[in-house]
A and B are shown apart, each in its own frame.
Chain A
Amino acid sequence: MQKDILIKYILGIADNSLILGQRLGELTGHGPTLEVDIAMTNISLDLFGQVRSYFQYTAQLSEEDKTEDDFAFLRKEREYINVLLVEQPNRDFGYTIARQFLFDHFHFLFLNELQNSKDKTLVAIAKKSLKEVSYHRRFSSDWIKRLGDGTEESKRKIQIAINDLWRFTEELFHQTNADVEAIKEGIGIDTDKIKAKYLENVSEVLAEAMLEKPDLKFFQEGGKKGIHSEHMGYLLNDMQYMQRTYPGMKW
């Protein structure tokens, strides 16, 4: 498989975790309770750890003299190909948990399949990450149930967040050209195959939480093509500040 296509495929996986990790990192010291604060930042740390493994691999594949930091910090907005869902702002705790819940269930099924990839490095990363993502999924699903089956206010707020973020879920399963190529080679994951299971798992938790599954006909897309929502620029501004201000800076 052509190296630049493989790199693009890997970035499509890694960018989701990078941007979500950054969003969760914003909660450091700002979580609603100490335990939740620690949980969100722990999840962020897991995601960053996984991202490092992906970027170290793309740096190794890259013919130019690139490092993992180049991939994380020195791309322009349109060069990031994460889904729109993960860049959505924290707003309130309901949004943070709803975003996490909708992503974790996808992430879990995706990594589960990625264990069967023909690419050995991706298999190793998937096996390692899957153990961590199982915890994330359990955590966010528990919170969905607690908020949905909680007070009138918590139920109202989490339902609003689910309704609002639902329009970003379809894009999780879209396939870019690089995705299609990688699937043909047996390296990539056919996301069509996990979609039914995703909807089933998500619906199950929502039902248990006594929440309504939104019934939407229109879905948002763009992130996977590099066309992001307005929130992305602000996020990158924060994330890239140090490297842009002091190029080549190291710890």
Chain B
Amino acid sequence: MVEEKVHISEKLAPILKQVSDPEIPVLSIIDLGVVRSAEIKNGVAEVKITPTYSGCPAMDVIGDDIKTALLEAGYQAKVDLILAPAWSTDWITEEGKIALEKYGIAAPLEASADKKALLGETNVVKCTNCQSKNTQMVSQFGSTACKALFKCNDCQEPFDYFKCLI
């Protein structure tokens, strides 16, 4: 578990809550845990974000979306990308996990269960469609860097699983 204090100004939080990851529109960047700090300094909103995966192509768009949202709310904004500490799936909020499940992406399990799931040792990932645990991994890599592809053996629906990263 990576414990990390996040400082987000109360004034900026509701604005940032409206910005979402373009790849997962149901998940706000706050719930995804990529906003590491947001403060107003000398009238300028300074936001620090960290990538989920190094190559995540959404980061540039997220940076621009933050600037746009803050500008609309009347703030000049400065967005910095930071690498340390490295993002962890533990930083996805409970609210975020529920939003993921509803959207059809199984939320990350804790580390040891995740490893077993991805190695195909046990069926622990729940189907987002019918809740069955009778599921199998189709591919360790999915439609985006952060996901693996699963299939439900009961309802036959394919679904994404958000890989555990700690």
Contacts and interface: CB of A to CB of B under 8 A. Distances in A.
Interface string A117-136: 00011011101110110010
Contacts of A120: 84
Interface in B111-166: 118-119, 138-143, 145, 149, 163, 165-166
Contacts, number: 69
Given A124-B86, A139-B140, 17 more contacts: A38-B141, A38-B143, A38-B149, A39-B140, A45-B53, A45-B145, A46-B54, A123-B84, A124-B83, A127-B86, A128-B83, A131-B165, A132-B54, A135-B140, A135-B163, A138-B118, A142-B140
Interface of A: 35, 38-39, 42-43, 45-50, 52-53, 120-121, 123-125, 127-129, 131-132, 135, 138-139, 142
Contacts of B85: 127
Nearest to A40: B141
8 contacts: A35-B139, A35-B141, A42-B141, A46-B54, A46-B145, A124-B83, A124-B86, A128-B51
Interface of B: 51, 53-57, 83-87, 118-119, 138-143, 145, 149, 163, 165-166
A52 to B, nearest CB: 7
B70 to A, nearest CB: 23
Given A35-B149, A128-B83, A131-B86, A52 B54 contact: yes
| Max chain B Cβ within 10 angstroms of own Cβ: one of A127, A129, A131, A139 | A131
A47 B145 CA distance: 11
A228 to B, nearest CB: 25
A39 B83 contact: no
B141 A128 contact: no
A69 B31 CA distance: 32
A198 B134 CA distance: 37
Nearest to B82: A124
A143 B150 CA distance: 18
